[in-house]
Amino acid sequence: MSEKTDRKAGRATADLVAREANVSRVAVSRAFNPNASLKPEKRDRILKVARELNYTPDMAARSLVTRRSHLVGMIVPDVCSPWESQEIDALTTALQAEGFATLLFKAKADFSMDPMLLTYMRGFNPDSVIAFTENIEPDVLSGFLDRAVPIYVIYDDADAFAGRASETLYDRLLVRQKDGIEQAVALLQGYGARRIAYLGGKKQSLANTERERMIAQVLAERGMAPPVIVPGDYTYDTAYRSTLDLFRVGSGADAIFAANDVGAFGAIDALRHELGLSVPGDVKVVGFDDIPQAHWKSYNLTTVRIDLDDRVRALVRLILRRLKTPDADSLVETLTTRLVVRGTVG
């Protein structure tokens, strides 16, 4: 057995990597930190030696010294729907570029969280936790965290959410929907729509509640009738069936404003393929989110856009600012929305 093979039999240390690469112990540490300053050729040499020796940094030991785990928890309501999957992918990529790994936790169907999973999360001592479901209240979530301050994504002012929160500190990404919704309603009104249906999302979702409230508010401000509320759950199949009910049992509508793009797709297909109606000739359709599939020619969907890149950058900024100023008051980042006009309105 060679000397190098013998060294690989046990757990290699940073000191051993430093000796083999002829660098300092500090340089080895910097080589495994993507944000640390180190000449590329030196980093490559250290990483090559580390691979040969089967060395990996002891993150647990490092966290004891730095009080940083370099882990970010994400609590999501879904992992396979188009919006959530693209956001998880983009956010994970951005966090990895900043030297973080991610822990993904899925909420229950009612958007609550199993306390055992929260206990499990606490064992990882994450630097930050992003709660994409508002139903896990800050005072509950914070009870399972050590020093991490949770981040919530909140739509508009979300009085219902703020009213339930205690004095627990939490940071927030505030998404203001009104600009995009106002633009959408103005466009629909300009093309003659008078009876507008709101095809909702899940009842437990405060994002859906705020979207419905904001659409009703904008319609009232423009002197239009309240929206016809059509039940939905963000899925294609439910949107398809609900659209059939709206026209076969109900009184129909001039336009459908869907809570998300997937719901808009279901409405469009029901209108065109089952009801024999033209979009946008007979019924106009607007979605929400602007997922990549929205521009596909089969749908060419007019939709209210939440800029994913801006949203991810804002969340990363909140994490970095909180780690830099751990005793700061509640931190807030604000995003707006805008209408993307395609072919389903006029």
Q: Which residue has the higher pLDDT, 56 or 65?
A: 56
Lowest mean pLDDT among 156-165, 175-184, 187-196: 156-165
pLDDT tens column, 82-126: 999 999 999 999 999 988 999 988 887 777 777 787 787 777 889
d(CA 135, CA 198): 23
pLDDT at 5: 47
Q: Please state, in angstroms and as integers, the Cα–Cα distance from residue 230 to each residue in 114, 257, 267, following that order.
A: 31, 10, 11
Q: Please state, in angstroms and as integers, the Cα–Cα distance from residue 178 to each residue in 156, 183, 305, following that order.
A: 8, 8, 12
Average pLDDT, the chain: 87
pLDDT at 129: 92
Residue 55 has pLDDT above 60, yes or no: yes
Residue 248 has pLDDT above 70, yes or no: yes
d(CA 219, CA 221): 5
Q: Which residue has the tokens 């169907």?
A: 109
Residue 165 has pLDDT above 60, yes or no: no
pLDDT at 163: 53
The three-state secondary structure class of 180 is helix
pLDDT at 52: 87
pLDDT tens column, 130-158: 988 766 788 888 888 878 899 999 888 65
Residue 168 neighbours by CB distance under 10 Å: 15
Which residue segments constitute the domains of the chain, with CATH numbers given?
3-57 (1.10.260.40), 67-177+308-337 (3.40.50.2300), 178-306 (3.40.50.2300)
Instruction: Report the share of the chain in percent with pLDDT over 70.
Output: 90
d(CA 257, CA 275): 18
- 302, 345 contact by CB (below 8 A): yes
d(CA 110, CA 321): 32
Q: Is the pTM of this model over 0.85?
A: no
pLDDT band per the 50, 70, 90 thresholds, residue 50? confident
pLDDT at 295: 96
pLDDT at 68: 64
pLDDT at 6: 45
Pick from 237, 258, 239: nearest CA to 303: 258
